[in-house]
């Protein structure tokens, strides 16, 4: 006789309990933060679809969220100013070129990196704490899924590490799948081939840390559209693109692929608006003449180079 394990109504799932335990260990993470994180991860399609205005609840929820934000502003980390903490401080993405994104999804050990305000210059949600970094889930992108005619494929959001990966896999089995680190790299490469931009995302409600790499297009991505309309949710990779005029053939391929509208063709040469360029590297990958390179730009902040950050943290630990 087969004995079936009974699932008691209302009993939290294992991944929910794991998320709760990690929340309890996270300094300053309140019960409201836990609830916010649970709702965000449990119903991401409703949450993001409503935020994008693609859900009928948007007309009701948006005024309520605005009122709540005014009554209960986000609390900044040490050194940050609560008065200046806005929505972008609590939910933001760092542009990561393909090589940097590849390194981020192929970390081989648990790491804890804090005090990353030079890399992630926001008041909150700026830590990288990876537990079981080889646990990766490919999730159908909530931004794309909310659109009537989305870019394909849908499963290009990479949820990295625990407790996030197991939570998503357990609660969204029909819209997510476990993948290996090598498969994650292939997703990143395929998305760059499609001209899409990789972002490392951080959110206050997701334990105030990095939790996903989203591969984004300007036609579907809510963060990219918010950024274009004045909400600075995205930050540069720390690089900008430079054109070697003698190699440029005026084909316009780079301009067609730029998700940030930073490239125009002027007098037969690709011209890059350095203020708009986010250093994603998509134009570099698609230039048939190899006329474009990524160059480090100190004015654009510090790159998210995970191996360098790990090495710096090791040196600090040795000095202590």
Q: Is the peptide bond before 56 cis (omega within 30 degrees of 0)?
A: no
Bin 53: left if φ > 0, else alpha if -120 < ψ < 50, else beta.
left
Based on its alpha-carbon atoms, the radius of gyration of the chain, rounded to whole angstroms, reads 20
Provide the pairing of β-strand 234-235 with 91-95: parallel
The Cα–Cα gap between 275 and 277 comes to 6
> pLDDT class for 132, splitting at 50, 70, 90?
very high
Continuous H helices in the chain: 14-25, 31-42, 44-51, 58-71, 87-90, 98-104, 142-146, 164-171, 181-193, 222-228, 253-257, 282-286, 306-319
Query: 8-22, 163-177, 192-206, 240-254: which has the minimum mean pLDDT?
Result: 8-22
Taking Cα atoms as reference points, which of 298, 314, 318 lies closest to residue 306? 314
The Cα–Cα gap between 211 and 159 comes to 6
The pair of structure tokens assigned to 54 is 């693609």
Statement: residue 299 has pLDDT above 70: yes
> pLDDT class for 50, splitting at 50, 70, 90?
confident
Range with the largest mean pLDDT of 79-83, 123-127, 162-166: 162-166
Terminal C-alpha separation, the chain: 60
Statement: residue 108 has pLDDT above 50: yes
Considering the entire predicted model, what is its pTM? 0.89
pLDDT in tens, 223-264: 999 999 999 999 999 999 999 999 999 999 999 999 999 999
What is the Cβ-side half-sphere exposure of residue 175, based on CA atoms within 13 angstroms? 18
Taking Cα atoms as reference points, which of 305, 304, 236 lies closest to residue 272? 236
pLDDT at 76: 54
Domains of the chain with CATH codes: 19-235+304-319 (no CATH), 239-296 (3.30.70.20)
> pLDDT class for 220, splitting at 50, 70, 90?
very high
The Cα–Cα gap between 270 and 254 comes to 8
């Amino acid at each position: 006789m087969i004995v079936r394990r009974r699932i008691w109504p209302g009993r939290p799932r294992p991944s929910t309990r794991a998320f709760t335990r990690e929340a309890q260990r996270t300094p300053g993470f309140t019960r409201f933060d836990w609830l916010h994180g649970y709702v965000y991860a449990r119903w991401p399609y409703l949450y993001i679809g409503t935020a994008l205005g693609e859900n009928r609840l948007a007309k009701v929820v948006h005024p309520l969220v605005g009122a709540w934000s005014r009554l209960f502003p986000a609390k900044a980390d040490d050194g940050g100013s609560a008065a200046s903490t806005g929505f972008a401080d609590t939910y933001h993405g760092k542009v990561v070129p393909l090589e940097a994104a590849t390194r981020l999804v192929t970390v081989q050990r648990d790491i804890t990196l804090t005090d990353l305000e030079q890399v992630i210059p926001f008041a909150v949600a700026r830590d990288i704490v990876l537990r079981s970094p080889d646990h990766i889930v490919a999730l159908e992108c909530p931004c794309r899924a909310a659109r009537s005619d989305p870019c394909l494929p849908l499963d290009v959001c990479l949820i990295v590490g625990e407790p996030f990966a197991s939570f998503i896999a357990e609660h969204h089995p029909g819209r997510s799948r476990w993948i290996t680190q090598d498969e994650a790299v292939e997703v990143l490469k395929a998305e760059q081939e499609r001209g899409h931009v990789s972002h490392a995302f951080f959110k206050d409600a997701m334990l105030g840390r990095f939790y996903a790499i989203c591969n984004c297009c300007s036609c579907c991505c809510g963060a990219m559209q918010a950024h274009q309309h004045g909400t600075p949710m995205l930050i540069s990779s720390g690089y900008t693109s430079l054109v070697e005029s003698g190699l440029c053939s005026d084909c316009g391929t780079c301009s067609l692929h730029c998700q940030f509208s930073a490239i125009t063709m002027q007098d037969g040469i690709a011209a890059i608006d350095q203020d708009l360029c986010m250093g994603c590297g998509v134009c570099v990958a698609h230039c048939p003449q190899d006329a474009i390179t990524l160059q480090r730009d100190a004015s654009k902040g510090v790159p998210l180079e995970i191996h360098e950050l790990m090495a710096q943290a090791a040196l600090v630990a040795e000095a202590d």
